[in-house]
Amino acid sequence: MSVEDEISREIGELKDKINELDRKLEEINARIEKSISERDKVHARMREIKEKVKTLKEEKTTLVDENRILRREVRDLRQKLLNYVIEKRQLRGELKNLKLSMDVNRIKRRLDEIDLYLASHRVSREEEKKLFEEASKLEAMLLDYEKALKIHLSLNELSPQMEEVKRELEEKRKRLEEVSSRLSQISMEMEALNNVYDSLKEEADRNHSKYLEAREERDRLEAERILATSRIYDLYKLLRGKREELLKRRISEVKAKKKKEAIAKLERGEKLEFEEMKILLEDETLWQASGGASQ
pLDDT higher than threshold 70 for residue 100? no
CA distances from 85 to 64, 117, 149, 151 (A): 31, 47, 19, 14
C-alpha–C-alpha distance, residues 108 and 138, integer Å: 8
- 151: nearest Cα among 201, 97, 77, 219: 97
C-alpha–C-alpha distance, residues 190 and 196, integer Å: 10
Q: What is the pLDDT of residue 130?
A: 84
Indicate the residue type of 92: R
pLDDT one-digit tens code per residue, 125-167: 887 788 788 778 777 776 777 777 677 777 777 788 888 889 9
Selected residue with higher pLDDT from 289 and 118: 118
**Predicted confidence band of residue 23 (pLDDT cuts 50, 70, 90):** very high
pLDDT higher than threshold 80 for residue 37? yes
C-alpha–C-alpha distance, residues 243 and 3, integer Å: 10
- Phi, psi (deg, nearest 5) at residue 38: -65, -40
pLDDT higher than threshold 90 for residue 261? no
pLDDT higher than threshold 70 for residue 295? no
DSSP string, 213-263: HHHHHHHHHHHHHHHHHHHHHHHHHHHHHHHHHHHHHHHHHHHHHHHHHHH
Q: What is the pLDDT of residue 52?
A: 95
pLDDT higher than threshold 80 for residue 119? no
C-alpha–C-alpha distance, residues 196 and 198, integer Å: 5
Q: What is the pLDDT of residue 168?
A: 93
CA distances from 282 to 189, 190, 212, 226, 234 (A): 99, 97, 66, 46, 34
Q: So where are the chain's domains?
A: 34-214
Q: What is the pLDDT of residue 237?
A: 87
Q: What is the pLDDT of residue 291?
A: 53
Indicate the residue type of 173: R
pLDDT one-digit tens code per residue, 43-66: 999 999 999 999 999 999 999 999
CB atoms < 10 A from the CB of 85, how many? 12
Q: What is the pLDDT of residue 95?
A: 63
